[in-house]
Chain A
Amino acid sequence: MSKLTVVEGSYAVAHAAKVCRPDVIPAYPITPQTHIVEELSKFAANGEIGACEYITVESEFSAISALIGACAAGARTYSATTSQGLALMHEVLFNASGMRLPLVMTVANRAMSAPLSIWNDHQDSIAQRDTGWIQLYAEDPQEAADMTPQVYKICEDNKIMLPAMACFDGFILTHVYEPVVLLEQDLTDEFLPPFAPEHILDPSNPKTFGAFADPGVYSEFRYMQELGMSAALKKIETVADEFNEIYGRYYGGLIDGYYLDDAEIVLVAMGSVIGTIKDVLDELRAEGKKVGLLKIRSFRPFPTDAIRNAVKNAAIIVPLDKSISIGKYEGALCTEIKASLYNTKIDIPVLGYMFGHGGRDIPPERIKKIVSEAEKAIVNGITIESSYVDLREELL
């Protein structure tokens, strides 16, 4: 049995990043990511990350830009950010994926301003869904730590070569103290081969990165990124299995299920709320209610086939979103789940809920309320397709 240590979620992730042996870490502080980069700076200051260069950049824009330069020069890179920092990187995120640079970043999910909020939701990374980055979401600190070497292995595959975000909920997971297994260096070395990219900036073999594309060639570059994402669908599954073989822990590949096989009501969620939902489901199952959970681990690539297969026998599907597309009045999971079911023989109602925005707590009663509304909707049909579950009418 691996040894459990009680540490903060941020420490577990920083430690995981360290054992992946990054060569360059440019970092810029932002709550609630700060503890991760502070821990890494301590590791670097103590010489615990080899010859790693820790760069205290002047902005997230430069953090991600330095990652690009470093990765193109052949370095394995790491950084972490959230919210405003991630949004500031927006332009560069596209650039990194377009240049097929397998950068790895932890995103400590946080709401977007205004109004200013330092608390958790998924709006920051969801807003970056079209930037060509792989996005995985972790449910607890252990999974967030374990996801770190997993994403390196996924995105450094030469058929993939795309950057990746390992997302975990700010404060709820970054600042919680829990017993975790800190990733062992020897196991990580066995699991994760050194970064050996085919194309690098090297004077002995000069190559051009980031050329200008006319309309005659541009689409093909975009299409090839899509091929990389498709390759990641398979790789995310195999890497999860390989991780299980070496470390003995498994969280699902693209998706995971809890009481999913015979579920009539399928809740769909990502991130830390999974823990609350699992507790509620244990209770509801004891009462004989056929409720299950579909956990989305991979939001990009979006696991369309896996989802279709997982929900096809349900009576109702209930996506639970910590994001909102204003003007569509639904969250990202809701929209994407609906889109996944269209053009299939699956004709199951989808009842979307949004909650937990800007860090609002999601107590078990909220989940139970959603389940009871879903039960009614199975009988009476859906009247409102998507809504906030806990809107405070008195503030409107």
Chain B
Amino acid sequence: MNKTTELFAPGHRGCAGCCDALAAKFMLKAVGENCIVVTPTGCLEVFSTPFPESAWNVPWIHSLFENAAAVASGVEAALKALGRKNDTKIMAIGGDGATIDIGIRGLSGAFERGHDFTYVCVDNEAYMNTGVQRSGGTPFAATTTTTPAGKASFGNLRPKKNMPQIMLAHGSPYVATTSVAYPKDMMRKVKKATEVTGPTYVHVHAPCTTGWGFDGSKTIELGRLAVETALWPMMDIENGDITGVHKIRNKRPVEEYLKAQKRFKHLFSIPGGADIIKKIQELADWNADQYDL
């Protein structure tokens, strides 16, 4: 255990400007020390716990890539059975791959059963730990190491899976979307999620310097652009109703966001790239309209 006052301590092996590290650090600040964290396999897990070191100053467990929600449900059941639940918060913090793809069965089961815990998806939009392969969270037209652009492909063929809506469909009393680029918003939402009884879900947009191809000093800038272009809407959903939406002051064109990252660079040179950018703009406009951003 690391002797600092930070619940998520510095000195870990994340990239400079790592989105996952920012997420973990600010979330724990918000939730406080009376919590137990479950993390599936992924960047955050690997860079924070090279034996015998650990960045976690809260009790923490990593089991596997696809079972964080089930492990968390076991922790919750144990604390209840042993009379130790009290105010202790149980939080799973998983990547988009762990959450949206391989872990969705266990996550769905845990939410349907109604365990009192919070699941946070830190969505850096690909399998970063294994070298930036595509996940169900990878956006339309992005290149990854398994969706490269080429003569016959413009990159990822499909838009992001709408995970917050899926979690909402489980009857979760609190679902929120936020971004590491808005630490206060993220902290408020994660704290609230842990305070609401029942299974709650927070989806955190997390720009990854290495995977997306931008300078490590620009993590926050990229995250803000995603929000300001309306590609990433941030909201609170309580008992099924949208109760808060982050309003965009100056809506920016998606090109500004796309241009800033290597994973979309091809769109500005390939034939038909302009049409794809147009489609991405349509996705953003739909969000802006749908959620009144």
Contacts and interface: CB of A to CB of B under 8 A. Distances in A.
Contact of A69 (B35, B70, B84, B109): B70
Nearest to B80: A53
A52 B72 CA distance: 17
Nearest to B67: A65
Contacts of B108: 58
A197 to B, nearest CB: 11
A69 B35 CA distance: 14
A212 B51 contact: yes
Interface string B78-89: 111111100010
Contacts, number: 172
Contacts of B35: 203
B33 A75 contact: no
Interface residues of B, number: 48
Nearest to B64: A95
A68 interface: yes
User: Of B36, B56, B71, B84, which is in contact with the most chain A CB atoms at under 10 Å from its CB?
Assistant: B71
B276 interface: no
Interface in B63-112: 63-64, 66-67, 69-84, 88, 105-106, 108-110, 112
B96 to A, nearest CB: 20
B61 interface: yes
Contact of B70 (A57, A77, A91, A214): A57
Contacts of B72: 69
A84 interface: no
Nearest to A217: B51
B287 interface: no
Given A206-B1, A206-B56, A214-B51, A68 B109 contact: no
User: Of B59, B74, B81, B108, which is in contact with the most chain A CB atoms at under 10 Å from its CB?
Assistant: B74
A67 interface: yes
Contacts of A214: 50-51
A131 interface: no
Contacts of B56: 206, 208
A205 B74 CA distance: 19
A209 to B, nearest CB: 4
Contacts of A75: 74, 77-78, 81-82
Contacts of A73: 36, 74-75, 78-79, 82, 84
19 contacts: A26-B74, A53-B78, A55-B73, A58-B105, A62-B73, A66-B73, A68-B74, A69-B38, A69-B63, A69-B72, A69-B77, A70-B81, A71-B74, A72-B71, A75-B74, A75-B77, A99-B63, A203-B34, A206-B56
Interface of B: 1, 33-36, 38, 45-46, 49-52, 54, 56-64, 66-67, 69-84, 88, 105-106, 108-110, 112-113
